[in-house]
Structure 1
Amino acid sequence: MPLNFHQLHIFHTVADRGSFSAAAQALYMTQPAVTMQVQSLEEYFGTKLFMRSTKKIELTEAGKVLLPYAKRSIDLIRDTDQAMTSFTQQQKGRLLLGASLTIGESILPRWLGPFGKEYPNIGISMKVMNTTHLIEEIETHQLNFAIIEAPIQHHDMHIEAVMEDELVLVVPADHPLTKLGTPLSLENVLKYPFILREQGSGTRQVMEDKLIENGYDPQQLQIVMELGSTGAIKSAVEAGLGISFLSVSSVKHEAALGLISVLSIDNVTFKRKFYAVYLKSALLPMSAVTFMNFLRERDLRQWL
């Protein structure tokens, strides 16, 4: 029979208590059962582990070699049990989650519903702010976990892509660009006034990086308004105040109702990824680990 923890535990108890009868009492077993398990262990290793006499037992040289390994196995099982107990207790705790604005307003609520159904004992608290402020809160340990819209460079920050997204051009339903047919040239699009997120937002950073990649200076944009949320930008575009680039996931409802139009640009895509970020030097609580595993293992697009 293969080696098992139960036999090692019995062997260690016999060695610790100094007799088969004392070990049997401690383990709530019969003495013959303890003797049989030790004999099975001796048969497995092909050597005697105890020297028996009528008065006492002593470890053989083989038994002395085995004893520290048996203790380590017991310690490992104990630590495993404590870790899993901690895990299940944390699953009944609270997930403190940070999210950049587009994700917090339009994406995460659609993920948190299925997550909550799967883990009903985990409560959720979410802070929504721009990427710069989220990173500051993680650095100062006010947050230990967040999902953001643009990659960052930080020596002590773990960054993991969790989903791909795309920024699309959104314009008022009756905007002149809707009459030109698509795809539009980027040069023509950039002639019109823009409504953008504030500096420091992930959406703004991705848009500006893509413009630079395509040979355009973001400083040349006609920015008529900077707003602090995706919802405010959608309302401003709908009111005819300008055009913008927003996450495709955030404008599906308004586009379906005909409140705004989503237009494509020739040979230019504004694809990006969403990233989970946390400090390498910090230990994530199990509630956050559970949520990270949920993000890794599910097809997140099914809820968008």
Structure 2
Amino acid sequence: MNLHGLRLFYKVAKAGSVTVAAEQLKISQPAITAQIKKFEKENGVTLFLPQGRGICLSEIGKQLLKEADAIFKIEDRMETLIDNYKQGKNGTLKIAGNYLSTNFLIPIWVTKLKQENKDINIEINTLNTENAIKQLMSYEVDVAILGSGAAKYTDKINSTKIMDDNLWFVASSSHKYANQKVSLNDIMLEPFIMREKGSYARRLLESICYTNIIKLPKIALEFNGLHEALMASTSGYGVTFCSSIAAKEFIDIGKLARIYVDNINLKNEIVICVRKGEETQNLVKEFMSVIKA
């Protein structure tokens, strides 16, 4: 079916006049009439009945108008859908993040994004840095929020710094070193409660020991989640080396306390990552704007 001819018929029928339709469409009346006659001939129907002034739809013309109305309303909705998608007002945003970002940062940002864009869907996956980058590169997610470990993938991604996260030694507020200043040697004699091998804080702790030629501390308890490690630390046993963002809420309510270790002042960059060499999607841009705000 010639949709151009159908559209011209629809416009004339809705306007009630070829003249009005021509003005709306900014094309000549003869051009409209010729296209409608071509459409009638191609389909073997008569859409308009002759009468003095104005137009009069035939029976098939009335039926076709009803169906055409449904078609072009769907078209209008599709155009709106596409426009909204291009502006980041609908669609699905898939986010990957490490444990820290998905538990302490992303929930705040996506809540704000959803409030401003009620028609979007948001999916969040908690992954380690390596798997988050893999999903980003395989188009399983649109954006990743990660720590300093993302720096090793600069050949594949573009990353933008969001904030610095300090790394602290913390323990129960009843620990002997709570709120005290101690040497690196002394703190490394304490049992540690840490996340699994390969986690950023764990690798950084090992790096501190290697750099200062100090024996690695005993990892007395190991958890796959940072929150779990912090909860275990509140018992009074062991020291945790971790994100200040994660530890702060425990410190604020008095369950944990900082331990100030001589000459140790380390930071972890929190970055937002997208695929290198691609134009950033509008929905990702909206998300980035929320974060910056």
Q: TM-score range by the shorter chain?
A: 0.5 to 0.7
C-alpha displacement at 1:24, in angstroms?
Answer: 7.8
**From 112, 123, 126, the counterpart of 1:125:** 123
Q: C-alpha separation between the residues in 1 aligned to 2:112 and 2:213?
A: 41
On the 8 A contact 1:100/1:202 being kept in 2, the answer is no
Give the SS at the match of 2:125. Answer: strand
C-alpha displacement at 1:211, in angstroms?
Answer: 4.8
**From 96, 100, 103, the counterpart of 2:101:** 103
> Which whole-Å deviations, capped at 9, do the CAs of 1:203-261 have from their partners, x for residues lacking one?
33344445555x245x6221122211111101111123421112112122222222222
5 Å matches for 1:232-271? 232-271=228-267
* Counterpart in the other structure of 1:142: 140
TM-score, normalised with respect to structure 2: 0.65
Identity of aligned residues (%): 21
Q: C-alpha separation between the residues in 1 aligned to 2:283 and 2:24?
A: 41
On the 8 A contact 2:92/2:121 being kept in 1, the answer is yes
On the 8 A contact 1:94/1:122 being kept in 2, the answer is yes
TM-score, normalised with respect to structure 1: 0.63
Give the SS at the match of 2:112. Answer: helix
Give the SS at the match of 2:111. Answer: helix
Structure 1 pair 95/206, CA: closer, same or farther in 2 (3 Å)?
farther
On the 8 A contact 1:99/1:126 being kept in 2, the answer is yes
Q: C-alpha separation between the residues in 2 aligned to 1:263 and 1:105?
A: 24
Structure 1 pair 97/225, CA: closer, same or farther in 2 (3 Å)?
same
What amino acid is aligned across from residue 27 of structure 1 in structure 2?
K
On the 8 A contact 1:130/1:200 being kept in 2, the answer is no
Give the SS at the match of 2:151. Answer: coil
What amino acid is aligned across from residue 238 of structure 1 in structure 2?
T
Is 1:161 the counterpart of 2:157 in the alignment?
no
* Counterpart in the other structure of 2:182: 184
Structure 1 pair 107/143, CA: closer, same or farther in 2 (3 Å)?
same
* Counterpart in the other structure of 2:86: 87
Q: C-alpha separation between the residues in 2 aligned to 1:251 and 1:113?
A: 22
* Counterpart in the other structure of 1:226: 222
On the 8 A contact 1:148/1:202 being kept in 2, the answer is no
C-alpha displacement at 1:134, in angstroms?
Answer: 1.2
Structure 1 pair 231/279, CA: closer, same or farther in 2 (3 Å)?
same
C-alpha displacement at 1:262, in angstroms?
Answer: 1.8
* Counterpart in the other structure of 2:26: 27
What amino acid is aligned across from residue 147 of structure 2 in structure 1?
E
On the 8 A contact 1:166/1:248 being kept in 2, the answer is yes
On the 8 A contact 2:85/2:91 being kept in 1, the answer is no
> Which whole-Å deviations, capped at 9, do the CAs of 1:54-103 have from their partners, x for residues lacking one?
xxxxxxxxxxxxxxxxxxxxxxxxxxx99855423x42222111110011
Structure 1 pair 121/205, CA: closer, same or farther in 2 (3 Å)?
farther
What amino acid is aligned across from residue 26 of structure 2 in structure 1?
L
> Which whole-Å deviations, capped at 9, do the CAs of 1:168-225 have from their partners, x for residues lacking one?
11112221212xx632222211111111112332333344445555x245x6221122
Q: C-alpha separation between the residues in 2 aligned to 1:162 and 1:212?
A: 29
C-alpha displacement at 1:165, in angstroms?
Answer: 0.9
Give the SS at the match of 1:105. Answer: helix
C-alpha displacement at 1:116, in angstroms?
Answer: 2.9
Is 1:287 the counterpart of 2:283 in the alignment?
yes
C-alpha displacement at 1:140, in angstroms?
Answer: 2.8
On the 8 A contact 2:104/2:246 being kept in 1, the answer is yes
Give the SS at the match of 2:261. Answer: coil
Q: C-alpha separation between the residues in 2 aligned to 1:234 and 1:158?
A: 32
* Counterpart in the other structure of 1:200: 198
Structure 1 pair 141/183, CA: closer, same or farther in 2 (3 Å)?
same
Give the SS at the match of 1:153. Answer: helix
C-alpha displacement at 1:25, in angstroms?
Answer: 8.4
Any gaps of 5 or more consecutive residues in structure 2? 1-21, 29-79
